[in-house]
Amino acid sequence: FWAAALVSALAFAGAHWLGSGWGAAAPVLLFEVAAGGIAAAYAYEMTGSLLAPICMHMLWNAAQTVAGATPVS
């Protein structure tokens, strides 16, 4: 599980990084997004449903929008 979760998380982070314009903050944000990817993979593993990671992503985007932090993807 962990190897697949790591590969999936890195792909998730890479997909969010492309065209993001993160600049100097990219290493920190890539780590943050990869950690979110691992959490999403774990949620999928525990529930067996894509609904859990999809809801996690939606809630994360909503929180970022409300906070006005970073552009959501």
The one-character DSSP state at 68 is T
Tokens describing residue 23: 């600049």
pLDDT tens sequence across 3-57? 999 999 999 888 888 877 778 878 888 898 899 999 999 999 999 999 999 999 9
pTM: 0.78
Task: Name the residue among 47, 40, 48, 51 with its Cα closest to residue 11.
Answer: 40
Under a CB-based contact definition with an 8 Å cutoff, are residues 27 and 1 in contact?
no
- Looking at residue 51, what is its pLDDT? 98
